[in-house]
Amino acid sequence: MSQQISAEEQVLGIVTNHWQAHGVGLAAKLELADHLADGPLAVEELAKRSRTHAPSLYRMLRALESTGIFASTENGSFENTPASDCLRRNKPGSNWAWVRFTLCPGAPVYEGWRGLPLAVETGEPGFDQLHGKSNWENMQANPEAYSIFNLAMRDLAATIGPAVASAIDWSRYNVIADIGGGIGSQLSEILAAHPNTRGILFDLPHVVAEAPKNERFDVVAGDFFASIPVEADAYVLRWVLHDWSDQECIRLLRNVREAMQPKARLMIVESIIPGGSQFDMGKWMDLNMMVMATGKERTEAEFAALLKNAGFELMSIEPTASPLSILVFEPA
């Protein structure tokens, strides 16, 4: 029988959760899971490979072990667990890049959350107020951060991508354009699941420059706030609108609308905030958007109103085997 915790213990647990997060972030930065990929290592050897202080590293590993991340062996070595294995850098479905982008000191999301008080007080992104520029401007000036961001989107696509690709029958669309599609991870998943389709990847020049070559899709570089010179049967915006304010979204959506033929469809792939007081990760991602950008997560009604202002009508909402849904729109 599970033991019910008190309200005080519940609050204390929330307050100290960031200690665990710091440990996970450092483990990713030190690439400890990769060092353990071939089997257990003594703490002294792991410290040597990670250039750390062995007694201090042991204390961190002991704490992480209590959360299921890493495990000690009978002889005092440490090995990976299913959870720590997710921190391996090049493992399919890895969380390594997302952790690096989020939890390590100096990482964009880590820095942005220091600005939560400013965001709540002023209504402006906390990151911008701390650094005097937006996160997007910061990443454009920091190729390493942008590269890790793209890797994080790739790794998320390894789990979310197949769920989106299998949620609807994409084969009814001959050409699928992924607008703001990064390095093409989601588009590649859709095309792989639907062999008779072709794709177009559209994003900023320095972003698509990192996209792996794929004979199934063409690459078009551009800025979706300027114009979208792409003709397709279906247009995909996955995790794009939540980065931007309503006014900015309407601007880019009208550019999509201008590019579309009457029978083309627009697929918005986002989390939808439910009503009620229950826990939902979308509510916390919304807070992340508040500190990191001008964007937000939205309810179904907010999506419908936003897209209506840009010239679209909601046709259906298709669930996926992930936290995201596919909202299907047609030109009004």
From the number of C-beta atoms within 10 Å of its C-beta (0-12, 13-18, 19+), residue 55 rates as exposed
Per cent of the chain over pLDDT 90 is 86
DSSP state of 6: P
**Model confidence band, residue 2 (pLDDT cutoffs 50, 70, 90):** low
Amino acid at residue number 107: A
Q: How many CB atoms lie within 10 A of CB 328?
A: 17
Give me 210's structure tokens. 């990192």
Residue 107 has pLDDT above 90, yes or no: no
pLDDT digits (tens, 9 = 90+) for 192-213: 999 999 999 999 998 999 999 9
Which secondary-structure segment (H or E) carries 303? Answer: helix 300-309
Domains in the chain, ordered, with CATH?
7-88 (1.10.10.10), 109-331 (3.40.50.150)
Give me 158's structure tokens. 């390894």
Cα(293)–Cα(324) distance, rounded to whole angstroms? 20
State phi, psi for 257 to the nearest 5 degrees: -60, -40
Residue 261 has pLDDT above 80, yes or no: yes
**Model confidence band, residue 92 (pLDDT cutoffs 50, 70, 90):** confident
Mean pLDDT of the chain: 95
Q: Which residues are catalytic?
A: 242
pLDDT digits (tens, 9 = 90+) for 22-57: 999 999 999 999 999 999 999 999 999 999 999 999
DSSP state of 41: B
| pTM assigned to the model | 0.86
DSSP state of 68: T
Cα(39)–Cα(37) distance, rounded to whole angstroms? 6
Residue 1 has pLDDT above 80, yes or no: no
Cα(135)–Cα(292) distance, rounded to whole angstroms? 7
Residue 8 has pLDDT above 80, yes or no: yes
Give me 276's structure tokens. 């009620």
Cα(162)–Cα(159) distance, rounded to whole angstroms? 6
Residue 79 has pLDDT above 90, yes or no: yes
Cα(210)–Cα(148) distance, rounded to whole angstroms? 11
pLDDT for 257 equals 98
* Alpha-carbon distances, residue 64 vs 14, 23, 80, 99 (angstroms): 17, 7, 11, 15
* Alpha-carbon distances, residue 49 vs 45, 46, 52, 54 (angstroms): 6, 5, 8, 11
Are the CB atoms for 198 and 216 separated by under 8 Å? yes
State phi, psi for 189 to the nearest 5 degrees: -65, -45
pLDDT for 144 equals 84
pLDDT digits (tens, 9 = 90+) for 122-181: 999 999 999 999 998 988 888 888 888 888 888 877 889 999 999 999 999 999 999 999
pLDDT digits (tens, 9 = 90+) for 213-234: 999 999 999 999 999 999 999 9
State phi, psi for 21 to the nearest 5 degrees: -60, -40
Give me 239's structure tokens. 């995790």
pLDDT digits (tens, 9 = 90+) for 270-295: 999 999 999 999 999 999 999 999 99
pLDDT for 77 equals 98
Cα(311)–Cα(317) distance, rounded to whole angstroms? 18
Give me 163's structure tokens. 């769920």
